[in-house]
């Protein structure tokens, strides 16, 4: 498939140093360093407004770089944008396809823009429509596409030139669980085919499922980086959430948990709720038995993966600004 | 899941440092193809270029005809070239507004992320809009003929006038394209365009002879590119004469392109 010299496996696909972006008075991206190896899936995790999309747009030549530098496969993004654009496929947060055109027309248009001959563009469009399960809807205008279909078409459009590096900006935000699973399969397939993927997400479980390495971004700064396991270990492997029958006894319960586990639980925003980080899920039973023995009645108990908010709390000492993201329960 | 297209290696192909002229032309035509599909799906985009020639030609001829030229028939050789220029100018204005609306859509993010010439999205709509100018020019001439206008320049003169009008529309559209790239919203483009369009079309020789205007106004009128175009169109349609005015009109329009096309591309490039 590949002709010509090929960089050794493990060479660097994306390298950013002290990347900065200023919007009026706001530092949207404030000195981020990033290093993505070839063949890796690199997840950028953070809440809304953390600067993920801004960073991705700078790397994709869609926004100018205010400070620092970035290289894609060794090519400077600011100095040689046209070359960088030939190496990167970008799938935006909001489907960047033409509403007025049909699925097929969109893919043919992008194929033609990328220099494919008329026939080649039509054939590539056909192949991609089939691969993404859009063949039946090919001749419908995008206006009539569902959210999941738009995302799939958008990703298909990013693959026309078969770019070695793919940027995915929140690829599954707003998708239902089934469509989300399909998108994950597609991303895994891309990596098997040799692509390097840089994706942003608000969901810890998505980063956990897909990424080899995760950077956590908060307010334009990188607050942590590591493998998914390293990251989760920093907040415990799972979280026990309990809600007390009698919310006035929350302090007693917290003290009891601290005695059992040797670590303070986190009080949830709603009264009478405790989030208890567990290094080992089996310790949940110890906590529940202790509560029972102390006659602290509970209404609900659940063990789940730590949410992004808990990772955040552990890493930054503050909650994600958007409370909606607390529930990334399994 | 069926296999996707295999990814090419990063070093699989040589990277072009910049798009070639050939690429730029191909990409512009691909963008024009997109614009034409959109026009077909939204036929209301043709309202201005179909209704305005019908309405304005009849209206201006019957209102001003007697007062300006003594009779409606005598006014036609003056007013038809004027309406031609005015209608085309209105059609150009829509080019800028539509471009602005278009640029706010997600698909422009993709255009920007593709390795294509920065001018291609702008040039594409400029090419597709030639169709709109052609419709406007053809309808205006046909309405004139239906009202009794008999151009002395014959088919050749009328054909040349038609070509010049369409070319002028394409050239002046770069002014509005530039506005489209600098303004914040489509409404803003509309507002600013009106302020430019009205002086350009009315402070010209389009509707009345310029002799009765004050001297300072005559100076503006005489350098207004719209005046140059109208004068050239009159020479071509009424006399079939390729006068110096035709040369000046082509030169004036080319100057507009030379100034505003680079400005538009630069500000479009900076928006990203």
User: Residues A217-232: pLDDT tens digits?
Assistant: 988 999 889 988 888 7
Instruction: Please list, in sequence order, all residues whose beta carbon lies within 8 angstroms of the beta carbon of residue A16, skipping any fewer than 6 positions away.
Output: A32, A33, A34, A35, A55, A59, A68, A69, A70, A71
Judge whether B21 is closer than 8 Å to chain A, CB to CB. no
Assess if residue A320 is contained within a domain: no
Assess if residue A330 is contained within a domain: no
Helix (H) or strand (E) holding A198: strand A196-201
Task: Based on the fold, state whether residues A110 and A27 are members of the same structural domain.
Answer: yes
Instruction: Please list, in sequence order, all residues whose beta carbon lies within 8 angstroms of the beta carbon of residue A184, skipping any fewer than 6 positions away.
Output: A172, A206, A209, A210
Task: Based on the fold, state whether residues A99 and A161 are members of the same structural domain.
Answer: yes
Q: Which domain holds residue A270?
A: 238-304
Structural domain boundaries in chain B: 22-31+43-270
Q: Which is higher by pLDDT, A42 or A92?
A: A42
Residues of A in Cβ contact (< 8 Å) with B11 = 2, 4-7, 73
Judge whether B215 is closer than 8 Å to chain A, CB to CB. no
Q: How far apart are CA A22 and CA A150, in angstroms?
A: 31
Q: What percent of chain A has pLDDT over 90?
A: 44
CA distance A200 to chain B (A): 17
How many independent structural domains does chain A possess? 2
**For position A193, what pLDDT does the model report?**
87
**For position B167, what pLDDT does the model report?**
96
CATH of residue A266: 3.30.70.100
**For position B178, what pLDDT does the model report?**
94
Assess if residue A318 is contained within a domain: no
**For position A6, what pLDDT does the model report?**
46
**For position B117, what pLDDT does the model report?**
92
Residues of B in Cβ contact (< 8 Å) with A185 = 1
Q: How far apart are CA A40 and CA A197, in angstroms?
A: 6
**Mean pLDDT, chain A, whole residue set:** 85
Mutation target among B2, B3, B8, B35 for the A interface, most CBs of A within 10 A: B8
CATH of residue A89: 3.40.50.300
- State whether A185 and B1 contact (CB < 8 Å): yes
The model's pLDDT over B229-266, given as tens digits with 9 standing for 90+, comes to 999 999 999 998 899 999 999 999 999 999 999 999 99
**For position B12, what pLDDT does the model report?**
56
**pLDDT per residue of chain B (272 residues) written in tens, 0 to 9:** 445 655 555 445 678 888 999 999 999 999 999 999 999 998 888 888 888 888 888 888 888 888 888 888 889 999 999 999 989 988 888 888 888 888 888 888 899 899 999 999 999 999 999 999 999 999 999 999 999 999 998 999 999 999 999 999 999 999 999 999 998 888 899 999 989 888 888 888 888 888 888 999 999 998 888 999 999 999 999 998 899 999 999 999 999 999 999 999 999 877 64
**For position A4, what pLDDT does the model report?**
40
The model's pLDDT over B75-110, given as tens digits with 9 standing for 90+, comes to 999 999 999 998 998 888 888 888 888 888 888 889
**Length, in residues, of chain A:** 330
The answer to whether A85 touches A113, Cβ cutoff 8 Å, is: no
- State whether B272 and A63 contact (CB < 8 Å): yes
pLDDT band at A198 (very low <50, low <70, confident <90, very high): very high
Judge whether A7 is closer than 8 Å to chain B, CB to CB. yes
Of the CA atoms within 13 Å of residue A22, those in its CB half-sphere come to 5
Task: Based on the fold, state whether residues A210 and A248 are members of the same structural domain.
Answer: no
Judge whether B105 is closer than 8 Å to chain A, CB to CB. yes
Strands A88-91 and A266-267: unpaired
Task: Based on the fold, state whether residues A213 and A262 are members of the same structural domain.
Answer: no
- State whether A98 and B5 contact (CB < 8 Å): no
Q: How far apart are CA B73 and CA B91, in angstroms?
A: 27
Task: Based on the fold, state whether residues A263 and A296 are members of the same structural domain.
Answer: yes
A137 pLDDT exceeds 60? yes
Assess if residue A7 is contained within a domain: no
Residues of A in Cβ contact (< 8 Å) with B107 = 96-99
**For position B9, what pLDDT does the model report?**
52
**Mean pLDDT, chain B, whole residue set:** 88
């Amino acid at each position: 498939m590949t002709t010509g010299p090929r960089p050794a496996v493990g060479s660097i696909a994306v390298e950013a140093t002290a990347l900065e972006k200023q919007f009026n008075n706001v530092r949207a991206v404030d000195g981020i360093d990033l290093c993505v190896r070839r063949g890796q899936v690199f997840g950028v995790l953070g809440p809304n407004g953390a600067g993920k999309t801004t960073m991705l747009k700078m790397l994709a030549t869609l926004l100018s770089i205010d400070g620092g530098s970035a290289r894609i496969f060794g090519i400077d993004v600011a100095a040689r944008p046209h070359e960088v654009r030939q190496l990167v496929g970008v799938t935006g947060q909001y489907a960047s396809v033409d509403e007025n055109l049909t699925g097929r027309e969109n893919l043919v248009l992008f194929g033609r823009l990328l220099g494919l001959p008329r026939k080649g563009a039509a054939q590539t469009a056909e192949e991609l429509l089939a691969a993404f399960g859009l063949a039946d809807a090919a001749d419908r205008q995008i206006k009539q596409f569902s959210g999941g279909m738009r995302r799939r078409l958008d990703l298909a459009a990013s693959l026309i030139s078969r770019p070695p590096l793919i940027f995915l900006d929140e690829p599954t935000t707003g998708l239902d669980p089934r469509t989300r699973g399909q998108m994950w399969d597609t991303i895994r397939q891309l990596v098997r085919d040799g692509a390097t993927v840089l994706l942003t997400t608000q969901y810890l479980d998505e980063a956990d499922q897909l990424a080899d390495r995760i950077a956590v971004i908060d307010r334009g700064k990188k607050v942590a980086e590591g493998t998914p396991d390293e990251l989760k270990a920093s907040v415990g492997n799972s979280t026990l959430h309990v809600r007390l029958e009698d919310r006035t006894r929350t302090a007693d319960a917290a003290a009891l948990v601290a005695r059992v586990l040797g670590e303070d639980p986190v009080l949830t925003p709603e009264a009478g709720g405790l989030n208890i980080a567990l290094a080992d899920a089996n310790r949940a039973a110890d906590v529940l038995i202790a509560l029972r023995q102390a006659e602290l009645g509970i209404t609900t108990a659940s063990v789940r993966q730590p949410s992004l908010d808990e990772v955040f709390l552990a890493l930054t000492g503050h909650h994600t600004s958007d409370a909606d993201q607390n529930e990334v329960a399994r | 899941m069926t296999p996707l297209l295999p990814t090419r290696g990063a070093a699989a192909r040589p990277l072009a440092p910049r798009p070639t002229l050939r690429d730029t032309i191909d990409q512009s035509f691909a963008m024009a193809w997109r614009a034409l599909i959109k026009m077909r799906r939204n036929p209301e985009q043709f309202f201005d270029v179909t209704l305005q020639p019908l309405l304005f030609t009849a209206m201006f001829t019957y209102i001003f005809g007697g007062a300006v030229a003594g009779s409606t028939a005598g006014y036609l050789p003056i007013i038809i070239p004027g309406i031609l220029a005015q209608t085309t100018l209105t059609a150009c204005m829509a080019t800028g507004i539509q471009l602005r609306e278009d640029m706010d859509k997600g698909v422009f993010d993709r255009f920007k992320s593709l390795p294509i010439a920065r001018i291609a999205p702008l040039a594409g709509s400029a090419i597709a809009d030639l169709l709109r100018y052609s419709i406007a020019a053809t309808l205006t001439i046909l309405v004139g003929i239906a009202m009794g206008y008999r151009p002395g320049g014959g088919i050749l003169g009328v054909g040349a006038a038609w070509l010049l009008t369409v070319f002028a529309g394409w050239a002046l559209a770069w002014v509005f394209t530039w506005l489209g790239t600098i303004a914040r919203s489509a409404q803003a483009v509309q507002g600013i365009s009106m302020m430019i369009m009205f002086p350009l079309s009315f402070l010209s020789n389009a509707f009345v002879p310029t002799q009765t205007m004050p001297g300072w106004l005559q100076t503006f009128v005489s350098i207004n590119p719209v005046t140059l175009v109208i004068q050239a169109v009159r020479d071509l349609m009424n006399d079939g004469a390729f006068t110096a005015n035709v040369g000046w009109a082509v030169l004036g329009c080319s100057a507009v392109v030379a100034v505003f096309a680079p400005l538009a591309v630069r500000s479009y490039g900076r928006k990203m």
